[in-house]
Structure 1
Amino acid sequence: MNLRDLEYVAAIDRYRNFGKAADACHVSQPSLSAQVKKLEERLGVELFARTNAGVVTTDAGTRIVATAREVLRSAKRIADTAAEYHDPMAAPLRIGMIPTLAPFALPYMASTIRKVAPDLNVIYREQPTDVLWSELDDRTIDIAVMSYPETPAGYRFTPVFKEPLLLMVAKDHRLANTSAISACDIPIEEMLLLTKEHCLRAETVALCNGKNIGIDVPDQLLATNFLTISHFLSRGVGCTLVPMLAQPILECANPAMRFVTIDDAAYGREIGFVSRKGCPREHILMTLCEYIRTNLPPNVTVLG
């Protein structure tokens, strides 16, 4: 059994057609069919059954194909890792981003990377902070864009900019026509929080620093994103903290929202890149950070 055999069975399972699978693998159909037949004989199980409806993957085949895809992904990571050290621009750069940043910063990040490294292929992933740490550990991603985290040994956090937090309320809220408030005037009892996997939830709780945070919000009310929260607010549920970069998109998505500035520098978050120490892409990352610091997104301040 070799990687080519695994590519064949994965392709057949995907296309459910031997001819299309052969085309995808750039071999003749007789060659692919013969090789898969040999593999079935070697394994002692049938992987695919031909029916009037087409090719069907058997129960055994389904499990074997799943394992084959895992092996192929691992082999691809081996090749990408070697390419990183041989030529850091050759392999795709895999970037993870937290969900409270990705929808609002991804267009800026993508255009910035194209200016810094136009030939670099970039793959983006949106995941909660804890998942990003796991994906950094197992090298599913190369770097992560996060709000300032506690950085374990072996990793480096490179801060880039500070993003203010705003108070978002509905247009009929008593604070809707207020341009700015002090931190002590934030109605923390009305504060609606994101679900627990979001780091901004913990940051909001720490900033508000009160045991009464959210006590006037129904216990069963849950939201995993700001747009959903905005609809809750439209129905008369208090307020929430949102990052500055989210404002333009949320204003377009829900015109009933109003945004209030908080006159306290503590109400912000530090955004930067987490990378493994010794990462072969270090020079690309540093070039990117320097470019961002001199070409910031709107309404954020430089760090580092």
Structure 2
Amino acid sequence: MKPTLRQLEYLVAIADSGRFSDAAKAMNVSQPSLSAQVADAEAHLGVSVFERGRAGAMVTPMGDQIIRRARYILRQVADMKAMAEHGADALYGRIRMGVIPTIGPYLLPSVTRQLHARFPDLRLGIRDEPTDRLAEQLDDGRLDTVISTREDHPGMQGSVLFEERLWVAMAPDDPLAASNAPVTLSELKGSPFLTLGLGHRLTWQVRQLAVRADAYISSDYEGTSLDAIRNMAALGAGVAILPELYIKTEARRDRSVALRPIGDASARREISLIWRETSPLAENLPALAQMLGTAAGAILAKA
């Protein structure tokens, strides 16, 4: 006898929560029933998926491989059900979309009304996550599609939404604030760059830019959001490197910072809507990408 799909769901729920009790609540079953089903699955597999202890349930090395395959199997079953239920018009029902935090809050509010008008039966579940976590969750099926940078999702399909420049924000009394023209890399030489913590593609790009400009990443502060590093720049802590979509929707309203685009070809990034090649939504997600790209283009076209 093989493990059932329900048993695979239990295994994944325990791996996600780290505790049998929390997994039982999430799956809406009693803990003894869940424990019995997991024990049955382990007996059929011939391995221990979890190491039980007072601190909770830890996934064993072999269990880690089983959990990965369980996620894949459950993802394939969910994709099959979606294809059967939605047919040709797959932008229907709940779609789980991940978004990098440097894009989501500045793009999605401008397009939600149009999305609802065109796809009234679509229910988007949005999750903001750093780039590395989006890649993991798209790969294992916890997300259906993501708005991210294409290079961080090898092997996936996608559609380009837009390209944006990077800008600098600094205190009004900073010498760089004396001009509104695009700032050159030579002007940024020796400047302390403010950026986000690890796990964000933007952070990696800012580090590469610092090398090219002979600048450096400030070791005194790593921002948790674009607002945070903008505010630190306003206080004179350094030069914040910010994406253009954020500049056009948020930063320009802040009189406490001066803003300049970076006049270098490397100071740009391309944003795409990305999905698994095997997804049943693959034929329909380009329509979503087209609407997102149009909304982003309207924002970026603002003077």
Q: Same fold (TM over 0.5)?
A: yes
State the shift of 1:265 in Å: 4.1
2:288 is aligned to: 288
In structure 2, stretches of 5+ residues that fail to align are 11-20, 38-52, 58-66
| 1:116 and 1:288 in contact (8 A); partners too | no
Code of the aligned partner of 2:289 = C
- Name the count of aligned residue pairs: 256
Q: Give 1:78-117 correspondences, 5 Å limit.
A: 80-86=78-84, 87=86, 88-117=90-119
State the shift of 1:77 in Å: 6.5
| 1:166 and 1:261 in contact (8 A); partners too | yes
Rate the CA distance shift 1:37–1:169 in 2: closer, same or farther, 3 A: closer
| 1:95 and 1:124 in contact (8 A); partners too | yes
The partner residue of 1:210 within 209, 212, 217 is 212
Distance in 2 between residues matched to 1:167 and 1:211, nearest whole Å: 13
Q: Give 1:213-232 correspondences, 5 Å limit.
A: 213-214=215-216, 217=218, 219-232=219-232
**Aligned-pair Cα RMSD in Å:** 4.0
Moved more, 286-295 or 88-97: 286-295
| 1:148 and 1:269 in contact (8 A); partners too | no
Code of the aligned partner of 2:299 = P
Counterpart secondary structure, 1:189 = coil
State the shift of 1:293 in Å: 4.2
Code of the aligned partner of 1:297 = A
Q: Give 1:190-269 correspondences, 5 Å limit.
A: 190=191, 191-210=193-212, 212-214=214-216, 217=218, 219-247=219-247, 248-252=249-253, 254-269=254-269
State the shift of 1:240 in Å: 1.8
Larger radius of gyration: 1
Percent of aligned positions with the same letter in both sequences? 22
Counterpart secondary structure, 1:183 = coil
Compute the TM-score of the two structures, normalised by the length of structure 1. Answer: 0.68
Distance in 2 between residues matched to 1:129 and 1:276, nearest whole Å: 16
| 2:111 and 2:291 in contact (8 A); partners too | no
| 2:186 and 2:213 in contact (8 A); partners too | no
| 1:192 and 1:214 in contact (8 A); partners too | no
Counterpart secondary structure, 1:298 = helix
Code of the aligned partner of 1:117 = F
Rate the CA distance shift 1:36–1:197 in 2: closer, same or farther, 3 A: closer
Distance in 2 between residues matched to 1:149 and 1:112, nearest whole Å: 29
| 2:99 and 2:127 in contact (8 A); partners too | yes
Code of the aligned partner of 2:257 = M
Counterpart secondary structure, 1:149 = helix
2:121 is aligned to: 119
Distance in 2 between residues matched to 1:110 and 1:263, nearest whole Å: 32
Distance in 2 between residues matched to 1:148 and 1:188, nearest whole Å: 29
| 1:193 and 1:240 in contact (8 A); partners too | yes
Code of the aligned partner of 2:267 = Y
State the shift of 1:114 in Å: 2.2
| 1:96 and 1:125 in contact (8 A); partners too | yes
In structure 1, stretches of 5+ residues that fail to align are 15-24, 26-34, 44-59, 65-69
Compute the TM-score of the two structures, normalised by the length of structure 2. Answer: 0.68
| 2:189 and 2:213 in contact (8 A); partners too | no
State the shift of 1:178 in Å: 1.5
| 1:108 and 1:297 in contact (8 A); partners too | no
Rate the CA distance shift 1:110–1:36 in 2: closer, same or farther, 3 A: same
